[in-house]
Structure 1
Amino acid sequence: MSIRRHEIMLQPESARVIIRPFIPSDADKITAIIRRTLALTDKEVTRQLKAVYQEFESRHYDVEALFMAHYRKIARHISSPSPLSRESELLLGALFSGEYSLESAALFNPSIVPHPDQSDVPAGGLRFIMSLRATGEGHISSIEFRSGMIDPGGGISFDPVSRFVAMPLVVPNPTYRKKSFVLKFHEMGFDNPFADAVMAPLGSEFSRSALNESVEAVGKGAHPETHELHRTLECIKWLADSNYELSFSSKLNVSERIIFPVSPNESNGIEDARFVCFKEDGGGASYCATYTAYNGKAILPQFIETRDFLNFRILTLNGTAVQNKGMALFPRTIDGRYAMLSRQDDENLFIMFSDNLHYWNDPQFLLGPAEVWESVKIGNCGSPIETEAGWLVITHGVGPMRKYCIGAVLLDLNDPTKVIGRLKKPLISPEGVEREGYVPNVVYSCGSLVHGDKLILPYAMSDKFTAIASVDLKELLAALL
């Protein structure tokens, strides 16, 4: 089979940094830092702040705004008889800030979709956006993006990558869909009068401010103060924090946008986003992704929606089948229902259908390990791809010595519960430098696309770097059939 490994390797770049809060958990330590800073003379404050700017201003777009944001996080600990100067506030903000290198450890597990803007693309070409899992200090993962072009001859190039990285605005007053919110809350075991009282005055869509007002009203109401009431209200807030909206400035290049963990359930990482261009029944298109939220103890599948890669909605998924890793959405509905691949048992591939994009139950077994190279477990490498021959699913299999290989299966176009083709040998196995990295002997992908007569397959090499292969589609389908 004709497989072309392109001479492209995306490597982690330690110089791409963001500024994060660096605030001790001990209140006494916070007040000690504040006390030492307020003891400085105005002249010394000016000198120290100038030194900070000289060292760090060129590494970020707007350090002043970030310093002020972090100052506001600790302002309640300040007890001063007179207002602080702006320079003192900024210096305090700098003292409670630190740089974080997003991809110092790895840049891997890619997925690829057509760019929403295809203007000025030559005939036969395609502009794309690639998502990547960036991992830094503490093995915290986030989502980065790259853009590039597939030229009419099949060559692949990437747009220049900016030195700068910027986090989005977390929309302060997002909206929620009541039906999904209530479903998730009941799944969590909070089907009680307190939850009903909070939700009753809210409309089918409601804002965070409206939710906060209802939570406060119930908390101050005639109910007796009980542990159940307190826990119910706290979990409503937790669920709201887990569903949020992000907005990037349109001035930022694609490579400058970073989705870093926001909610408590993803505090230790946003892992393995599987993006797909979803064709809506009405003719429009949106971009959706499933990803794994990790809080250091437990994982939780989550969902991303965007139309422009500038504005994102982050949502929890509902249903008894929302568990484990590896959920991958089909790019359109089938007989009017959404379809999803999954792996609830961490061994076999399952498929499930739903009338609600955010609610999943009743997974059906699809296929299990068959060959030795996949005999430990199998999973998907992203969303199924529609072809005339059927749904092409790129898979991964784990075999002896925890070696990960990439394979492929073909599902019936009208009834994707039927497997009509399957490779007996791996499509891609780790070779040479691909074997060396943070986790050796691994090739892995989170999403491919078909362009013309080629399958464009970006893949990670041993949880460290990212490469790209292209495969002759006709040859692949012939091998599957």
Structure 2
Amino acid sequence: MRPFRPAIEPRDLNATDKTRANHIVDRVLALDAATAELQLADVLQNFQGRHRNLLEAFESRADDMEDAFAAHKNFTRVQRRLVGAYFLHEYSFEAAALFNPSIVDHPDQSNVLPGSRRFILSVRAVGEGHISSLTFRTGTISVDGIVTLDPTAPLASIPKVQSRTTGPHGDEVELVFRPDEDVSERVIFPVTLTQSNGIEDARFVKFDAGDHIVYYATFTAYSGREIRSELIATTDFLSFRITPLQGTAARNKGMGLFPRKFGGQFAMIARHDNENLYLIYSDDLHVWNGGAAILKPQFPWEFVQIGNCGAPIELDEGWLLLTHGVGPVRKYSIGAVLLDKDDPSKVIARSREPLIRPEPAEREGYVPNVVYTCGAMRHADQIILPYAISDTFCNFANIRIDALIGMLD
């Protein structure tokens, strides 16, 4: 359930046409008490069970609309709840597409069998109007690499905006979900103007900050006209802080953060020229400039462009960087590169042929001829790789590390 706002143009997620809003309120207030109670009862009968804490949601929405209601007298409780209902609507956030997953360790590994691990999968969901949001799944990987997804909750919830700070580079927001909401219920929907048409392709990484762990994700914010990179930070997948990224390297898509610092600096793989991959170091996690090009299109399956497929994965042999390449008829495939462990600017080896490419039987979908991932993880001697097929559904591949290294030259 999302706020419904009689919108002002140009579109602003936080703007409301107060004249239209007040006309709606006037009509509700014109109902006699009995009719208002019957109308509220009818709404509850239709929507109870489809959402958590429905009456509380109505009252909370009415609280949000206080500025638009200032011209009106005091409301009865029934009127207030009914007015709140008129300014909400249901949105099928993954009705059109579900794709581009990334995977990280779950912060809670309690009661997991020895050799197994619990994970969180982030997925890009698309609904009406091609608006992208971020949603989650949980599951476990057994000692032998078998992936099991947990059942999803039948409900979905958006977070409360705990705080919003407007700076010269855009809004920084803090979002908080309720603890009683299952991870699979949590949907991060666009909350700023720069994100108004989508939160796209989050690349999560479990970052070792020395004395604690932070889960960071770079993602593409799309306003409908422009794109830029932004950063999500969380320690528990319950509260999230979203911050704009600055610098020349943050103006394009596909930034992937290394899971630890190098010599006191953050490191990122980015593509800010639409073709090549760059290694960038920064003293400031939120500012990224310049960098050195370390990978350029070399093989036919990546002649159009290459990009990273998530955060680099640390192996004994070096840093494994999964990549995507775009070839003829904009066919997307997934490959791999091995970077030097001490100096990631050195390319040790790369795949001449894709690891995964679209199969003829699975090439149709929301976006045809695409396989894509936003991040894999190491599990013992395997790489667990979630990937999307034609932007329609997601699958998992298990790849033995020794076999993968043997494919690179």
Q: TM-score, normalised by structure 2?
A: 0.94
2:218 to 290, 295, 299: 290
1:162 is matched with which residue?
153
Measured against aligned partners, the alpha-carbon deviations of 1:368-390 in whole angstroms (never above 9, x if no partner) come to 11111111100011011111111
1:390 is aligned to 2:315: no
1:20 is aligned to 2:11: no
Q: Is the 8 A contact 2:177 2:238 kept in 1?
A: yes
1:135 is aligned to 2:126: yes
Tell me which of the two structures has the higher relative contact order, counting C-alpha pairs closer than 8 angstroms and 6 or more residues apart.
1
Distance between the aligned counterparts of 1:77 and 1:359, measured in 2? 38
Q: Is the 8 A contact 1:458 1:467 kept in 2?
A: yes
Taking structure 1 as reference, are residues 419 and 77 closer, same or farther at Cα in structure 2, changes over 3 Å only? closer
Gaps of 5+ in 2: 9-16
SS in 1 for 2:55: helix
1:421 to 332, 338, 349: 349
The range that moved more, 349-358 or 438-447, is 349-358
Gaps of 5+ in 1: 1-17, 175-207, 209-236
1:462 is matched with which residue?
390
The 5 A counterparts of 1:19-418 are: 19-25=2-8, 26-78=17-69, 82-172=73-163, 237=166, 239=168, 242-280=171-209, 282-418=210-346
Q: Is the 8 A contact 2:207 2:215 kept in 1?
A: yes
Give 1:329 shift: 0.3
Taking structure 1 as reference, are residues 428 and 86 closer, same or farther at Cα in structure 2, changes over 3 Å only? same
The range that moved more, 360-369 or 315-324, is 315-324
Measured against aligned partners, the alpha-carbon deviations of 1:106-150 in whole angstroms (never above 9, x if no partner) come to 111000001111112112111111101111111111111111000
Distance between the aligned counterparts of 2:37 and 2:324, measured in 1? 57
Q: Is the 8 A contact 2:170 2:244 kept in 1?
A: no
SS in 2 for 1:439: coil
- If each structure's strand is expressed as a fraction of its own residues, which one has the higher value? 2
Q: Which has the larger radius of gyration?
A: 1
- If each structure's helix is expressed as a fraction of its own residues, which one has the higher value? 1
Taking structure 1 as reference, are residues 249 and 80 closer, same or farther at Cα in structure 2, changes over 3 Å only? closer
Give 1:447 shift: 0.2
The letter of the residue matching 2:145 is G
The range that moved more, 89-98 or 18-27, is 18-27
The letter of the residue matching 1:21 is F
Distance between the aligned counterparts of 2:248 and 2:70, measured in 1? 50
1:7 is matched with which residue?
none
SS in 1 for 2:251: coil
Q: Is the 8 A contact 2:217 2:232 kept in 1?
A: yes
Taking structure 1 as reference, are residues 48 and 241 closer, same or farther at Cα in structure 2, changes over 3 Å only? farther
The letter of the residue matching 1:57 is Q
The letter of the residue matching 1:313 is R
SS in 2 for 1:321: helix
- Structure 1 vs Structure 2 CA RMSD: 1.7
Q: Is the 8 A contact 1:395 1:406 kept in 2?
A: yes
